[in-house]
Amino acid sequence: MPNIPDVHYEKGNYSVVGTKQPYIDAYDKVTGRTTYISDFSLPGMLFGKALRSPYPHARILSIDTSAAEKVPGIKCVLTGKNVQQYKWGPVTKDEYLLAVDKANFTGDEVAAVAGVDEEACDEALSKIKVEYEPLPAILNMHDAMKEGAPLIHEEFPRNVNCHFDIPRGDFEAVAKNAYLVHEGEYETSLEYQSYIEPMAGVSTWDRKGNVTIYAGIQTPTWSRNDYAVALGIPVEKVRIVQMYFGGGFGAKLSQQVHPLGALIAKYAEQPVRFVMNREEDFQCGLPRVPMYFKIKTAWSKEGKYLGKYVYILADNGAYGSYGIPIGLTAMYRIDIMYQVPVVHSVMDLVYTNKVPTGCFRGFGNTQMHLAHETHIDEVAEMLGIAPDELRIRNFAGENYKNPHGWKTNSCEVTKCMVRAVEKSDYHAKAAEMAKENETSPDIKKGIGVAAAVHVSGNRSFIKPFEGAGILLRMNEQGKVYVLSNEPDMGQGIRTVLTMCVAEGLKLDPEHICVPDPDSNVVPFGLGCFASRGTYMATGAIHMALNDMKAKLIKLAAELLSLPEDELDLKDGAVVSVKDPSKKATYAELAWKHVCDFPGQNILGIGYFTPAGVEYPDATKYNNISGGYAFGADVAEVEVNVKTGQIKVSKIWGVHDVGQPMNLLALEGQLQGGIAMGYGWAVMEHLKYNEKGRVANAGFLDYQIPTSADIPEIDVEFVDSFEWTTGFGAKSIGENSLNPTAPAILNAISNAIGIRFYDLPVTAEKVLKALKEKAKASGAKA
Amino acid sequence: MFNISYFAPAKLSEALEYLYEHKEAKVLAGGTDLIAKWKKIGHPDMELLDIRNIENFAEISEGKDGLFIGAGAKMAAVQYNSAVNEKFPILAWAASVVGSVQVRNLATIGGNICNAAPSADTVTPLIVYGAEAVIVSKKGERRCLVKDFFTGPGKTVLQSGELLKGFVLPYPEKGSKAAFSKHGRRIGMDLATVGVAVNACVDGGKIKDVKVALGAVGPTPIYVTGLEKFAGAMANEAAAEEIAALAEKQAKPITDVRGTEEYRKDMVYENVRKCLKKAFA
């Protein structure tokens, strides 16, 4: 591996980077020209569908497929009994594509069919006879480890997928001498990503046993490994082509739908499209891991944060997915925002007979933020210190090294908080609202703050690898193709990379193309998760652009017989700085190059790995990210005490994202994250009934905010530059969401003097709490 | 594949003849309930009578004895019609909160009533405005107060061969004022957890007449009874609270994924109280 020196990039004099650019693919998307994966067809393609368990936990005694096989138009009927199954999973290998002897949640795949259309498939599914023996089910994570609880996976006694205990110092010793020790319990709910297109893929096999999966996927290259295991074939036989898809928010890393579709296609011996319908996606997607937190903290009288103990119980549902790294993230990521010398985290990740839970924007860190940022507010009240001030007294700054060996580079969290408080006029408003509330019978107003941190890439997945590679190819007309493994799922990396090329090569975006990643073509890479895309890919493209720029200048110097140092790039050409009439356009240089070196394009090669980042050791020590991103929200609420209804009237979000790349997309991402955080706080909840079925598997009763509900949002980015990456950019994707829900909960508490410790805080819950409070104070009086 | 017969006559007589011949036929107006339900129950065979082409079926016209609103009038038409807004403002308001813009551009007021969902938004205003449903069949025409139109969830007084032609809303008495409230979990695109409409006629500070209707808190929309005794009472906060308590008592909500019985009862009280306060003002 090349030695990455102690880099320190400087901010450039940008003309494109940092401006507002509409997505380069927006027009085609909104006019219906874009082909999304659910609409993608191959000649001779069949449709795949799965039969799903109606029970949350049941032994499969027998499956009779004979009637289903006779349905006209049905090509094959597969079960876990007639097709060899392999356990797979991105972290824990605990899931079959088709259940072999036991179904572990309502929706678990029991059989699958391929047919000429969906109706034939539905008919065949209705004719598969499965004999089940229902087993007792675990529907509440707090029951999972109890004595006598049913066992879901034999390899995991007491239903514990993993237990972590990471002590950094002796918390009890610190607590003993502290001025204040506060303990609180918090719980988050099951939340569905609500992307606009359900999980989907189209698979096709060649005669040599190579499979191509056209997929809606965030990790096209890396997921090949998982899918190969699921299919029992070598990884080199799996090709993934990432297609346009309707959002992922984390759910679309490795998914069951792709290898299962591929398995069906293998036996059908024809291409197969497998698209989940929305009800299936609700029941069998990979929603957010619900977590229970017990947090105990120790403080000095002046508000110095002395120590923290955290216990987490995390609900992984029926299968592991990414549960382990999600749980780990919840345990300690927030420790890079506050300077806490002693931190001790313990976590149990347990199985239940519910939908497998996985990645969702924030990756466990969002759950911890809800708990921790509520907890900090409680402490602020106890110490009589303003909540913004208490945070500021303990925030990390540049080059802070925490007890886990993590280290900040750029760090403007204090600036974010100060600016959010200033913009919202937080202190004056808090006083004003308190006064207003005294005389307002129905509406009580409140205001709250919260801070947040996230990574730009998380060095915890693959020991020997972190980073990104970019290959720039200038074709014979001088058009530049960006080959990258950082997929666009709507977050806009395609436009960001286009802007980088436009900036670096002074080229009109019309002459830049960022194709969809195809694992047969693009450089190796991990893909889109951990808010890594912008930080990593712009780091790599910075180097690739320098490489291509040097080549263009060298070629032009030869062609124009001018010294290289007299040449610079301008308007798609290499131009003499002394005499602008002397120039060579990229089109000229590119054509000459393919003629002089027959067929060879001009290439720019770039690779990036974050400096000062290392794979964690056995005790989870070592810095996992080069670009910690920060932010702070202030939320203003009005609570109707007669109905419990919460109106979030305004939210201010101020973030440190390093150097903004596409300011328009950044604002959009931050507004979207805030809207999502708002929904999580007050309405979103995937509910289970007593039979172990999702009770609201549709958008009628799984409610997300509509545009009529979303509060007024004011966003801003503080001046910052992350010196470890070429363009200085950090992330926004996940951190945009992290501070919102706790800021809202803190505002609600400010309004009515009642704290809520579990999500969502619905009108009904608020009214109940208000009644209980009135009853209690009545009883006292 | 799908086995559907489809008939879209331009004349009412043809439609009524068809309904007489085809006892199982489904009436298609906007289709926003019918088609969604048909998909959900697995695309069964269906005979469809499309009433959208029938002459005058979407008309809204001011007659002598009241405003006529055709069963085929779209929610958007009701929402924006000037006569509705002027004389029956809470009906326009209720129409404006049905589903989304796209739904309101398809859905009809007749469909909203005939689908007979207890949560239907436009039902409670029609009830408190004393609207009559105009029902036609081969045998002739009959009328039925909207408050008496519903017999159960999804069930109405319509007999086989009968078609809802529209509604007649008697012009409001001078001094009457109506108020409406849709209590939902969010602002946009939601079904009511509790729906309330009130209409009060106040003269010299005293109640002359008061009507209250409730949605989503029973198997059918509920017309609150026993309010005659408030005639002559002062139109004040105390009366509002008393009527609200009466309404709460008559509400028969269930606990479901949208809300608990207890919360719904509380919201009946609060929303009736709030609406009456407005209507009495």
Rg value, chain B, Cα: 19
> What is the distance between the alpha carbons of residues A581 and B67, in angstroms, rounded to a whole number?
79
Residue A705 contacts B where some CB pair is shorter than 8 Å: yes
Residue A374 within any structural domain of the chain: no
Q: Which residue type is seen at A500?
A: C
Place of tokens 């009237």: A649
For position B42, what pLDDT does the model report? 83
A101 to A63, A135, A181: CA distances (angstroms): 10, 12, 50
Query: In A, residues 112-151, which contact B (CB 8 Å cutoff)?
Result: 119, 122
Same domain, A629 and A741: yes
Give per-residue pLDDT as tens, A745-776. 999 999 999 999 999 999 999 999 999 999 99
Tokens of A476: 């014979």
Average pLDDT over residues A342-359: 98
Same domain, A644 and A771: yes
Average pLDDT over residues B31-47: 91
Confidence band (pLDDT; 50, 70, 90) for A440? Answer: very high
Q: Which of A575, A608, A641 is the last residue of a domain?
A: A608
> What is the distance between the alpha carbons of residues A688 and A419, in angstroms, rounded to a whole number?
42
Q: Write a three-state SS string for chain B.
A: CCCEEEECCCCHHHHHHHHHHCCCCEEECCCCCHHHHHHHCCCCCEEEEECCCCCCCCCEEECCCCEEEECCCEHHHHHHCHHHHHHCHHHHHHHHCCCCHHHHCCCEHHHHHHCCCCCCCCHHHHHHCCCEEEEEECCEEEEEEHHHCEEECCEECCCCCCEEEEEEECCCCCCEEEEEEEECCCCCCCCCCEEEEEEEEEECCEEEEEEEEEECCCCCCEECCCCHHHCCCECCHHHHHHHHHHHHHHCCCCCECCECHHHHHHHHHHHHHHHHHHHHC
User: Residue A2: pLDDT above 60?
Assistant: no
* Stated pTM of the model: 0.96
Tokens of A716: 């801003």
H helices of A52-94, in order, are 66-69
For position B214, what pLDDT does the model report? 98
Nearest Cα to Cα of residue A286 among A240, A312, A320, A262: A320
Give per-residue pLDDT as tens, A478-526. 999 999 999 999 999 999 999 999 999 999 999 999 999 999 999 999 9
Same domain, A471 and A597: yes
Compare CB distances from A707 to B188, B191, B267 and report the shortest one's residue. Answer: B188
Same domain, A590 and A482: yes
Q: Which residue type is seen at A439?
A: T
**CB distance A767–B187 less than 8 Å?**
no
Average pLDDT over residues A549-555: 98
Task: Indicate the number of domains in chain A.
Answer: 2
User: Residue A207: pLDDT above 80?
Assistant: yes
Complete domains list, chain B, with CATH: 4-169 (3.30.465.10), 176-280 (3.30.390.50)
User: Residue A781: pLDDT above 60?
Assistant: no
State the best of A646, A649, A701, A704 to mutate against chain B, taking most chain B CBs within 10 Å: A701
For position B249, what pLDDT does the model report? 98
Residue A248 within any structural domain of the chain: no
> What is the distance between the alpha carbons of residues A250 and A231, in angstroms, rounded to a whole number?
23
Question: Which contacts (CB < 8 Å, 24+ apart) does range B27-31 have?
Answer: B27/B51, B27/B114, B27/B163, B28/B52, B29/B71, B29/B72, B29/B107, B29/B108, B29/B110, B29/B111, B29/B114, B30/B74, B30/B75, B30/B103, B30/B106, B30/B107, B30/B108, B30/B111, B31/B106, B31/B111
Residue A60 within any structural domain of the chain: no
Compare CB distances from A709 to B1, B187, B260 and report the shortest one's residue. Answer: B187
Contacting residues of A for B1, CB less than 8 Å apart: 119
Buried b (16+ CB within 10 A) or exposed e, B152-165: eeeebebeebbbbb
Tokens of B50: 């499309």
Mean pLDDT across chain A, nearest whole number? Answer: 97
Q: Which residue type is seen at A613?
A: V
Tokens of B254: 């269930």
Place of tokens 């408030």: B230
Could you give phi then psi for residue A644, rounded to 5 degrees?
80, 0
Residue A208 within any structural domain of the chain: no
Q: Which of A542, A574, A608 is the last residue of a domain?
A: A608
Tokens of A532: 């890594």
**CB distance B1–A119 less than 8 Å?**
yes
Interface of B with A (CB under 8 A): 1, 42-43, 183, 185-191, 257-260, 263, 266-267, 270, 274
Q: Which of A577, A608, A639 is the last residue of a domain?
A: A608
**CB distance A764–B260 less than 8 Å?**
yes
* CB-count burial class (<10 Å; 0-12, 13-18, 19+) for A561: exposed
Place of tokens 């198997």: B219
Q: How many CB pairs under 8 A join A and B?
A: 41
DSSP A73: T
Average pLDDT over residues B121-125: 98
Residue A599 within any structural domain of the chain: yes
> Half-sphere exposure (CA, 13 Å, Cβ side) for A196?
9
Q: Which residue type is seen at B185?
A: R
CATH of the domain at A521: 3.30.365.10
Same domain, A707 and A762: yes
Same domain, A663 and A557: no
> What is the distance between the alpha carbons of residues B266 and B183, in angstroms, rounded to a whole number?
11
Cβ A25 vs Cβ A34: under 8 Å: yes
User: Residue B66: pLDDT above 60?
Assistant: yes
User: Residue A624: pLDDT above 70?
Assistant: yes
Give per-residue pLDDT as tens, A705-726. 999 999 999 999 999 999 999 9
Q: Write a three-state SS string for A290-338.
A: CEEEEEEEEECCCCCEEEEEEEEEEECCCCCCCHHHHHHHHHHHHHHCE
Residue A485 within any structural domain of the chain: yes
Confidence band (pLDDT; 50, 70, 90) for A779? Answer: low
Q: Which residue type is seen at A88?
A: W
Same domain, A448 and A575: no
Could you give phi then psi for residue A710, rounded to 5 degrees?
-60, 130
Place of tokens 């107003």: A445
Same domain, A599 and A533: yes
With left for phi above 0 and alpha for psi between -120 and 50, is residue A658 left, alpha or beta?
left
User: Residue A649: pLDDT above 60?
Assistant: yes
Residue A492 within any structural domain of the chain: yes
Average pLDDT over residues A345-360: 98
Residue A656 within any structural domain of the chain: yes
Contacting residues of B for A119, CB less than 8 Å apart: 1, 43
Compare CB distances from A706 to B1, B186, B191 and report the shortest one's residue. Answer: B186
Residue A279 contacts B where some CB pair is shorter than 8 Å: no
Same domain, A515 and A590: yes
Average pLDDT over residues B201-220: 96
Same domain, A593 and A704: no
State which residues form the domain around A544: 26-34+467-608
Q: Which residue type is seen at A58?
A: A
User: Residue A1: pLDDT above 50?
Assistant: no
Nearest Cα to Cα of residue A213 among A193, A233, A192: A233
Tokens of A777: 């104070």
Place of tokens 């959002």: A247
Place of tokens 């002074």: A506
User: Residue B188: pLDDT above 90?
Assistant: no
Average pLDDT over residues A311-315: 98
Nearest Cα to Cα of residue A468 among A282, A637, A328, A607: A607
Mean pLDDT across chain B, nearest whole number? Answer: 96
User: Residue A4: pLDDT above 60?
Assistant: no
**CB distance A706–B187 less than 8 Å?**
yes
Compare CB distances from A705 to B1, B186, B260 and report the shortest one's residue. Answer: B186
User: Residue A628: pLDDT above 50?
Assistant: yes
Residue A618 contacts B where some CB pair is shorter than 8 Å: no
Same domain, A427 and A550: no
A413-424 helix and A387-394 helix, angle to the nearest 10 degrees? 160
For position A663, what pLDDT does the model report? 98
**CB distance B270–A643 less than 8 Å?**
yes
Is the reported ipTM for this assembly greater than 0.90? Answer: yes
Confidence band (pLDDT; 50, 70, 90) for B167? Answer: very high
Same domain, A449 and A473: no
Average pLDDT over residues A37-41: 96
